[in-house]
Amino acid sequence: MSSSIKEEIIRGLNDDLAREYKAIIQYVVFSSTLNGAEYGDIAEQLKIHASQELSHALEVARQIDYLGGDPSVKGKEAEYSKDSKTMLEIDLRSEQETIKNYRERIRQAERAGEFALSEKLRNIIAQEQDHEIDLKDALGLR
């Protein structure tokens, strides 16, 4: 793999890592501050999501290191709302953006012959899609 392609993948993975940091923060805060009996189940799910996002961040950082890069220490800026429905909408948009970005990263990895990386990212996407389903269900969108 050429160094420019590797650098492009590392840059993308660092962007993905920054999104994972943001997701962890939002899920921790939102799971603690969602109000209303109708949000009890999803609040518990968000705690699980936070833990899964940490696992994703650890895997992405490991892959960045494997490719010779330095994992980012900065996250994307977390969003916040006091409104429970808006919190879930923020999380849903974030998950959808994350899925889109991981799909692109999978394409990049496969073009570069990094099939193990591609497989790791596919596993992450599967969980991200589960998060999207949970959020859509909580918002009554499915």
Nearest-5° Cα angle at 40, 90 to 83: 35
Q: What is the pLDDT of residue 1?
A: 73
**With contact defined as beta carbons under 8 Å apart, do 34 and 49 qualify?**
no
Q: Give the helix/strand (H/E) hosting 89.
A: helix 84-111
State the Cα–Cα distance between residues 28 and 24, nearest whole angstrom. 6
Q: In 3D, which of 31, 59, 17, 61 has the Cα closest to residue 131?
A: 31
The first and second tokens of residue 91, run together, are 């999380």
For the domain that residue 32 is a member of, what is the CATH number?
1.20.1260.10
Structural domains counted in the chain: 1
Instruction: Name the residue among 30, 20, 94, 76 with its Cα closest to residue 52.
Output: 20
pTM strictly above 0.85: yes
User: End-to-end alpha-carbon separation of the chain, Å?
Assistant: 42
- The reported pLDDT for the residue numbered 2 is 86
CA distances from 50 to 35, 45, 47, 70, 98 (A): 18, 9, 5, 23, 14
How confident is the model at residue 127, as a pLDDT?
98
The C-alpha atoms of residue 100 and residue 125 are separated, in whole angstroms, by 9
pLDDT score recorded for residue 142: 84
Backbone angles phi, psi at 106, to 5 degrees: -65, -45
Identify the domain containing residue 101 by its residue range.
3-138
The per-residue pLDDT string of the chain (142 residues; one tens digit each, 9 = 90 and over) reads 789 999 999 999 999 999 999 999 999 999 999 988 899 899 999 999 999 999 999 999 999 999 999 999 999 999 999 999 999 999 999 999 999 999 999 999 999 999 999 999 999 999 999 999 999 999 999 8
**According to the model, what pLDDT value does residue 112 have?**
96
